Chains A and B, each alone.
Chain A
């Protein structure tokens, strides 16, 4: 379970990037956070991972305060960053092996690595390739494979579909649904309303650091999310 309680971040330059953010992602739930560039999505994720300290409020992973117990909290979360970069001199296998070991998974076999890479849709020729020659999408897939192998109860993904081709995008959605059905709490930040709509159990709209709207799947039924989003954004930015 992921939970933000009045999570607030004010950067050193005075910019209020996150303003009293509150949400909860239950086990077996996918929460999609939408927002324009600079809305504060990555900031929220960085707070959850302890990369930056919050100005106010708390971020909880499995009810562990990430500020108080930064190391312990990381056992319970997998992370796929916006722009996955890996060790370019390593092959896909070697990258998976290293990061899995860091995640505490020491006894994985090559077959298991291959299995996961297949599942995320990485072509077999790429398994033994140095990742410096990987495309953005291929790196993205490998990043997702790293997260899957960690097998943590919570998943945080920052714009995970941004580099994926349509087929891979669809495969990715299937994968996420499969993970949700296994009971994982999944937080996705995205611009990709079209795809996210298909899987989200709940969506949130972010505007200048504030979570301005939250809707469940049920409430969204029949609504055009895309239109809703754009209308909402226009309305609010017009109001300010």
Chain B
């Protein structure tokens, strides 16, 4: 009986026009996205090696350690091979960090900044297609699963037989799911096959493991919408109502919750504005200036400047004043730097808190959960970006130390020509991409959330159907 229902459900769907339409569109979109993903990756790879070579040449061309110190070295981030399926935020954040003795390093030169049209449309990666297009298909396949059969009258006819309702809903769920998977799995496997046999794309075993889990997440994500569709279709009496409700929930999940989460996080955990930070710094500066005045007054009170008639004492006083002033100056700058650093740290900490809150709030939506988890797995997300930036920040003092030593030595050598920089012992920036276990710890909550939603919606559909008015 269950088998008959499953078979019928699959046959019924496969023979429907929407199946053909979905299958075609899925195939086109998935293959297109894998293809563009591969192309982008290869272009990035080329650009990357060109940029690395250029940087090397630039460094070697420097005449002295002094100019090298000012120019600094450029750290080019290696493109991620899994950006072919999940482009993540890597197109929006910079690809290059300049490390020199002057500034705090930051990432510049993103793909979006070099060609803003990319920013307008975003990339057509596989995650996007699954998140937007396929989830809509999942709804399209299920919005009338129950209510449609009621409207057609086939539910009554079926239930005039010895058919337990739980068998019927189970059969419909399994059959419907299988027929949703067909137009998804076939092009997906084709896409992965292309990825596998494409020259110059080498995927390690670890990468395949990650891809496997990304695919699992895709599946779970679509199951969420599938069971949701089943649930709503078992709670409505008209398929048009069911479709509208589902569309509304879909819009809420896919666009509203993520945006609202960011806004809410901004309200709950506000970060001070740039103006405020500047004002804070200025206020401290004024405070310090006032302090300087009083300290100076104190000094001059305790050490009255001898009159013009005592040149020797006056000379000594000048010496003493110079010493005091230098020391005082150093202390003040130290204080200011410390304060500024503290303000900056505080700002960063608050920003991170806000980000974290925004991420966690938005995770209620399976669409966000999908985004974050696949980005974690593809290592193209915020966390990997931060890890990279941190590695660059950690590299900066190493580089600075090296270049300073070199400069000192070349100064000591001084006299005639400055020596040409020798790069052979220049410390290199190193970055270890995140290991699988660490990525997974961030993926698990999203995975569990989706599983939870699937169970919730399925139980909802099941219970609703047992009491569904079939007339």
Contacts and interface: CB of A to CB of B under 8 A. Distances in A.
A104 B156 contact: no
Q: Report which residue of A46, A71, A98 has the largest number of chain B beta carbons within 10 angstroms of its beta carbon.
A: A98
A154 to B, nearest CB: 11
B283 interface: no
B162 A94 contact: no
Interface of A: 46, 49-52, 71-72, 74-75, 77-79, 81, 83-90, 94, 98-99, 101-104, 143, 146, 150
Interface string B1-23: 10011001001100110000000
A74 B164 CA distance: 11
Given A89-B12, A90-B15, A101-B4, A84 B160 contact: no
17 contacts: A50-B159, A51-B159, A74-B161, A74-B163, A77-B160, A79-B157, A79-B160, A81-B153, A85-B153, A86-B154, A87-B8, A90-B12, A90-B15, A99-B161, A102-B5, A102-B163, A104-B161
B156 A81 contact: yes
B108 interface: no
Interface residues of B, number: 23
Interface in B433-471: 469-471
A39 to B, nearest CB: 17
Contact of B160 (A49, A88, A89): A49
Given A51-B156, A102-B1, A102-B163, 10 more contacts: A74-B161, A77-B160, A81-B157, A85-B154, A89-B12, A89-B15, A98-B8, A101-B1, A101-B4, A143-B157
A90 B11 CA distance: 8
A103 B161 contact: yes
A102 B12 contact: no
A25 to B, nearest CB: 17
A71 B165 CA distance: 10
B4 A74 contact: no
A79 B156 CA distance: 9
Contacts of B162: 71-72, 74-75, 103-104
Given A90-B11, A102-B1, A102-B4, A146 B471 contact: no
A193 to B, nearest CB: 26
B152 interface: yes
B11 A83 contact: no
